[in-house]
């Protein structure tokens, strides 16, 4: 992380006018200022740790209308306003044709604050509900269809990266889903190249806690739009992982942060993946004092 980050991200906003319009009417409490500073610091740390930023690039910010994508957009705009993110940002909402989706909320909100944006309509809702029985989870197909459309839009808008609002808890839940149900050690990467090799996928909130994102959303008064597609299904594997992690954190505070740190401190020789570590050629070094005649 850049040495000047602590100086540039202050505990308090010095002036209500000296900030992005999104932040001109936010709470002035010490608690909110600390929360805002922490989220900015964590996002900047992730941007630096995973070499996400190339000055002059253009990024497409996926905006679903949920707390995390709103928070992502606000944090990136805050960093850009402070001169810490030298890229262009464009927000994009993919209207997937869900019944009763309030189409006016996002364009009104983005226009009010002068945020460059694009609203795209694609009825993936009908495809998902037609292909997947109600007794099964919609998330996988829905995600693939959404991601494909967002990649297309990123290309059309001249963007080099698609930026998503997944946070620390999303990454941990995915890790345990893969561990328990997929038989592999894998999570959501903070930075990924798409299959075609022409776009990056970035997750700047990789170190941010969901609890902090929830508090930030409430304080910022984001106009949340619930997802009625996946939100209507109970018993999803992810919900089970979320409940398990919450229980662990309740009984042993700080474990989530420890788990995330563990993902940055992998020791292949202490796992069992023969493709990751050469166990075949692992042998003791001969002791020069243990030869014939000595």
Average pLDDT of the residues in 195-219: 97
Asked if 87 and 162 count as a contact pair (C-beta separation under 8 A), the reply is no
Identify the three-state secondary structure at position 93.
strand
Handedness of CA 135, 136, 141, 143 (dihedral sign): positive
pTM for the model stands at: 0.86
C-alpha 251/C-alpha 262 separation (Å) is 19
The pLDDT of residue 12 is 43
Chain centroid, CA 283 distance in Å: 42
- Give the residue with greater pLDDT, 265 vs 148: 265
The confidence score (pLDDT) of residue 278 equals 94
- The structural domains of the chain, ordered by start, are 15-265 (3.40.50.620)
Measure the CA–CA gap between 261 and 259, rounded to whole angstroms.
Answer: 5
Percent of the chain with pLDDT over 90: 69
Mean pLDDT computed over 127-136? 64
Paired tokens of 43: 């996002």
Q: How far apart are alpha carbons 263 and 172 in whole angstroms?
A: 9
The model's confidence at residue 173, banded by pLDDT at 50, 70 and 90, is: very high
Q: Quick check: 181 and 142 in contact, CB under 8 A?
A: no
Mean pLDDT of 81-89: 97
H helix runs in 82-157, sequence order: 105-112, 124-131, 139-156
Largest CA distance in the chain: 89
Q: What is the pLDDT of residue 262?
A: 96
101 Cβ contact partners less than 8 Å away, ≥ 6 residues apart? 95, 225
Please state the rounded mean pLDDT for residues 97-103.
78
Give the pLDDT mean for 106-129.
86
Nearest C-alpha neighbor of 89 from the set 68, 110, 104: 110
pLDDT number for residue 212: 98
Span 230-273, pLDDT tens digits: 544 444 788 899 999 999 999 999 999 999 999 999 999 999 99
- Compute and round to an integer the Cα radius of gyration of the chain: 22
> In the prediction, which pLDDT does 285 show?
79
């Amino acid at each position: 992380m850049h040495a000047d980050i602590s100086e540039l991200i202050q505990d308090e906003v010095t002036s209500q006018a000296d900030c992005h319009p999104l932040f001109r009417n936010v709470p002035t409490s010490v608690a909110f200022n600390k929360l805002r500073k922490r989220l900015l610091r964590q996002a900047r740390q992730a941007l630096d740790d995973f070499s996400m930023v190339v000055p002059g690039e253009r990024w497409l910010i996926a905006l679903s209308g949920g707390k995390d994508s709103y928070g992502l957009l606000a944090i990136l705009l805050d960093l850009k306003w402070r001169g810490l993110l030298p890229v262009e940002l464009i927000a994009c909402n993919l209207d997937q044709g869900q019944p009763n989706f309030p189409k006016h909320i996002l364009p009104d909100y983005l226009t009010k604050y002068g945020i460059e944006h694009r609203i795209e309509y694609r009825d993936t809702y009908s495809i998902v509900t037609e292909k997947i029985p109600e007794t099964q989870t919609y998330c996988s197909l829905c995600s693939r269809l959404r991601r494909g459309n967002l990649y297309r839009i990123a290309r059309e808008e001249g963007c080099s990266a698609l930026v998503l609002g997944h946070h620390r808890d999303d990454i941990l839940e995915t890790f345990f889903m893969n561990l328990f149900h997929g038989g592999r050690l894998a999570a959501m990467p903070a930075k990924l190249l798409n299959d075609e090799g022409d776009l990056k996928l970035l997750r700047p909130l990789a170190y941010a806690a969901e609890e902090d994102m929830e508090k930030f959303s409430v304080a910022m008064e984001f106009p949340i739009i619930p997802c009625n597609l996946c939100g209507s299904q109970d018993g999803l594997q992810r919900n089970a992982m979320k409940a398990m992690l919450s229980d662990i954190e309740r009984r042993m505070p700080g474990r989530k942060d420890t788990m995330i740190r563990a993902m940055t401190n992998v020791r292949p020789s202490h796992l069992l993946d023969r493709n990751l570590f050469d166990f075949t050629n692992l042998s003791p070094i001969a002791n020069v004092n243990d030869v014939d005649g000595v």
